Chain A
Amino acid sequence: MLKPNEIAVVGAAETTRLGVIPDMSNIQLHADCALNAMADAGLKPSDIDGIACAGESPTNMAHYLGLTPSWVDGTAVGGCSFMIHVRHAAAAISAGLCKTVLITHGESGKSQIGLNRAPPGRSSLMGQFEMPYGVYGPPSMFTIPVLRMMKETGLTEEHLAMVAVIQREWSSQNPRAMMKDLCTVDDVLNSRMIAWPFRLFMCCLVTDGGGALILTSADRAKDMPQKPVYIRGTGESVETPMISQMADFTRSRAFRVAGPTAFAAAGIKHADVDHLMIYDAFAHLPIYGLEDLGFVGRGEAGDFIKERNTAPGGKLPMNTNGGGLSYTHTGMYGMFALQESIRQMRGTAPAQVKGAKISVCHGVGGMFAASGTIVFTNEK
């Protein structure tokens, strides 16, 4: 069984640019950050013997980058695919299937250059039982459970707005963030209506960019140029491809499997966590994440955020890059949450949490369809 801290992240980088990159195709965004991550780790393509990616196939990326892998993983379950790649790669390295794994994400989400994305077919379950009713992109689907959550737990529109307000406080410290201007609850509530009760500022950005990670054994990491960031615990799950069939509209089953699995594997308690990333495609996701991962009780996450516990200076700094709402969101944002956890553990984040030793990085895929959780530490 995979033991805590036996595998480390030794390379981590984003694309050279983030935001609007009309001069690069989807696969080149993967490659740009992969080259940056190899440079970060001091490795060449011939040093990489494992490849995992989503949005492009591992075949595409191995060929494009000139790799000859003996281990591949094309798990593609949406934006948390990369958390799951980290988990699978760590297990594979531990089992001796490969030594050094490259994980890539690139997405021309804004410019739509060279995308190979197909909509669900008319015969798929989504095509038959959701698409006919006017769902059109994540803002029209991911948001559907929230009115139920509000009725059952007392969550309010102001709570949702506060998620966006506080993440701007974080992004205002980050030169690479797309949205850096501070905003108020009124600004959020007065921004353009997208899918009631969701306004524009409660929805993620749509950008171009990418990120890549390189993992190897902790033993090999000792001789590498970067401070190793160890994988202490991991978890993953899936629930349903259809938001309408989510078993409980106020809880994510995938979150409630992936999160506790990672905490148990890491042998940590919530009080041990110094830094937290919860994938925020929309403002309600950190609310569900805080509750489903057990940081707060049911119905308490809204007030927990409003009382500034996750804000700069708070006891549980969360989404410190500004998140998908304010930093960047290419479509499969999970890689950027992982990059911020690595920066925080290396001590190189623009809004660095002083002395942070444990970072939890929690991702979602699809519309509450999938989840992956990684517990990182910089202490072996």
Chain B
Amino acid sequence: MSESKRPLPLPTPETKHFWEGTQAGEIRLQRCDDCSKVYFPPRPFCPACASRKVSVFKASGKAKLFSYVIHHRPAPGFTPPYAIAVVELEEGPRMMTNIVNCPQTPEALPLDMALVPHFEKMNDDITLPLFQPAKG
């Protein structure tokens, strides 16, 4: 897939730690210090109990393929067909991503298949957390 025209995120103060994490090869999640809820997307308080006492931690990176479509229409920066996927991280939260290093076919993309991150550097500011099938 061609990456040049893909829309890229513009981090905010509340999400900066996540995008610094992907540049360091980590998926950084947040956990509530009061109720232990692990959550995503980033925000400086807990969406379960409203506590402002939250910590950033490094997720394991282990994930499974939760659901997806294989998009057959052109989109800026993408050559169809390509899968737009939602993965479920081992820690619980789900995130949208693309599955790379894998044919973009239903046969090659069974639900619940094990995945690991593939960090794709887009420019000096943004590295995207993509995923690929786990080996073995």
Contacts and interface: CB of A to CB of B under 8 A. Distances in A.
Contacts, number: 115
Given A129-B41, A132-B6, A196 B97 contact: no
A289 to B, nearest CB: 19
Contact of B7 (A127, A139, A193): A127
B70 interface: yes
B66 A195 contact: no
21 contacts: A127-B10, A128-B10, A128-B41, A129-B9, A129-B41, A133-B84, A134-B77, A134-B84, A134-B98, A135-B75, A136-B75, A137-B73, A140-B69, A151-B111, A194-B71, A195-B70, A242-B96, A243-B86, A244-B95, A245-B41, A249-B86
Interface string B37-73: 0001100000000000000000000000011111111
Contacts of B8: 122, 132
Interface in B120-136: 128
B111 A148 contact: yes
A145 B67 contact: yes
B115 to A, nearest CB: 14
A125 interface: yes
Contacts of A193: 72, 81
Contact of A144 (B68, B82, B95, B98): B68
B17 interface: no
Interface of B: 6-12, 15, 19, 40-41, 66-73, 75-78, 81-82, 84-86, 94-98, 106, 111, 128
B87 to A, nearest CB: 9
A336 interface: no
A245 B89 CA distance: 13
A146 interface: yes
Interface in A58-114: none
A16 B40 CA distance: 47
A210 B10 CA distance: 36
Contacts of A243: 86, 96
The 10 closest A-B pairs by CB, nearest first: A136-B75, A128-B9, A122-B10, A196-B70, A148-B67, A195-B69, A244-B96, A134-B78, A123-B10, A193-B72
A143 interface: yes
A125 B106 contact: no
A197 B67 CA distance: 11
A198 interface: yes
Given A129-B9, A135-B84, A140-B84, A196 B94 contact: no
Contact of B86 (A192, A198, A244): A244
Contacts of B75: 134-136, 140
A130 interface: yes
A249 B66 contact: yes
A257 B41 CA distance: 23
Interface string A147-183: 1100100000000000000000000000000000000
A196 B67 CA distance: 11
B84 A125 contact: no
Contact of B71 (A122, A125, A195, A242): A195
A148 B70 CA distance: 14
Interface centre among B69, B84, B94, B106 (most CB of A within 10 A): B69
Given A148-B66, A249-B67, 5 more contacts: A133-B98, A146-B67, A151-B111, A193-B72, A197-B106
Contacts of B94: 244-245
Contacts of A197: 69, 106
A245 B86 CA distance: 9
A206 B75 CA distance: 18
B69 A147 contact: yes
Contacts of B69: 140, 143-144, 146-147, 195-198
Contacts of B81: 193, 196
Contacts of B9: 122-123, 127-129, 131-132
Contacts of A198: 69
Nearest to B9: A128
Nearest to B106: A196
Nearest to A131: B7
Interface centre among B19, B72, B128 (most CB of A within 10 A): B72
Contacts of B84: 133-135, 140-141, 144, 195
A125 B96 CA distance: 11
A300 to B, nearest CB: 21
Contacts of B7: 122, 127, 131-132
